[in-house]
Chains A and B, each alone.
Chain A
Amino acid sequence: MSAPRVALDIDIPSDVRQIEPVIRQVTDTCRSLDLPRQQCSLNVPVALSEALSNAILRGNHEDVTKRVHLRTLVADHELVFEIRDEGPGFNLEASTRDPEQQNALEREDGRGIFLMRTLMDSVEQFQQGGNVVRMTLRLPDTSPEPR
């Protein structure tokens, strides 16, 4: 198995208008890697948009002097996104709301982390020079069948 390589390393100010161009760059990278269509057009853009929104709004409180850093790593069988902000972090578990919960349907908020967890194979959070959220998406095995 080869070591993961950094496909993208992006640093943006805490401004939600920065999200769309970043997503475009990442989805272009997904397509260049020949990932399945739905991963490029649904899983990656939506989960990443949520993670970047959280970093900008909750982590850095839209303070444009604070930065959000995105690193995209490609390994043999997975795509990893690390999103780092300058905030103290927040409780991912407590912020995850299941749409099956009572009254959840008519709520305007509370779907972001649920979508990240649903559209990615794992979502972790840790401290490393700031608050880091790591999302991992497993890629389909395209290696030839052994004879």
Chain B
Amino acid sequence: MSFALKKQGDVVVVDVEGQLIVGNRQELKQKVLDELERGERKFLIDFSQTGYIDSSGLGVLVSLSKKIREQGGELRLADLNDDLKTLFELTKLDTLFQISDTRERALESF
């Protein structure tokens, strides 16, 4: 499991490879907060290579969303598989985040 960050235009794109769970959530949080600190304001997290997310992982996404909004930025999510969509629906987090079907659509939406 790892997190790969790269810049596409003015958007920081984060690929979550593997799981986003209690054992690695702080790594994702720190990487995104470092970019926010550096002045980046547009963030996209791509879940096309993600297996499952636990409640700690969901909590980190909520926390990042708040911190990015507080700095006047935007966080968007893309490419959730069916299981992840179900998870976001069960927890109502599909109403908190702007979620796109694909990375391309998410990038266009900024």
Residues facing A in B74-102 (CB within 8 A) are 82-83, 86-87, 90-93, 95-96
Residues facing A in B2-37 (CB within 8 A) are 18-19, 21-23
Contacts of A46 in B (CB 8 A): 52-54, 87
Judge whether A45 and B22 touch: CB under 8 Å. no
Complex CA distance for A72 and B53, rounded to whole angstroms: 21
Judge whether A99 and B83 touch: CB under 8 Å. no
Minimal Cβ-Cβ distance residue in B for A116: B55
Complex CA distance for A31 and B88, rounded to whole angstroms: 24
Task: Please judge, given known A-B contacts A16-B23, A108-B59, whether A42 and B83 are in contact too, CB under 8 Å.
Answer: yes
Judge whether A20 and B1 touch: CB under 8 Å. yes
Complex CA distance for A105 and B55, rounded to whole angstroms: 12
Judge whether B87 and A109 touch: CB under 8 Å. no
Residues of A within 8 A of B (CB): 16-17, 19-20, 23, 38, 41-42, 45-46, 49-50, 53, 57, 99-100, 104-112, 114-115, 118-119
Judge whether B62 and A106 touch: CB under 8 Å. yes
Judge whether B52 and A45 touch: CB under 8 Å. yes
Judge whether B55 and A41 touch: CB under 8 Å. no
Check: B68 CB closer than 8 A to any chain A CB: no
Minimal Cβ-Cβ distance residue in A for B53: A46
Judge whether A109 and B59 touch: CB under 8 Å. yes
Judge whether B21 and A19 touch: CB under 8 Å. yes
Cβ distance B52 to chain A, nearest Cβ, rounded Å: 5
Can you identify 16 A-B contacts, CB atoms within 8 angstroms? A19-B21, A19-B22, A23-B19, A42-B52, A46-B54, A50-B55, A53-B21, A53-B22, A53-B54, A53-B55, A57-B22, A111-B58, A111-B91, A115-B54, A115-B91, A118-B90
Complex CA distance for A118 and B58, rounded to whole angstroms: 16
Task: Please judge, given known A-B contacts A17-B23, A42-B86, A106-B66, whether A112 and B54 are in contact too, CB under 8 Å.
Answer: yes
Known: A42-B87, A111-B58. 7 other contacts (CB 8 A): A19-B21, A19-B23, A45-B52, A49-B21, A108-B62, A108-B63, A111-B55
Task: Please judge, given known A-B contacts A19-B21, A19-B22, A53-B54, whether A111 and B59 are in contact too, CB under 8 Å.
Answer: yes
Cβ distance A41 to chain B, nearest Cβ, rounded Å: 5
Complex CA distance for A115 and B87, rounded to whole angstroms: 9
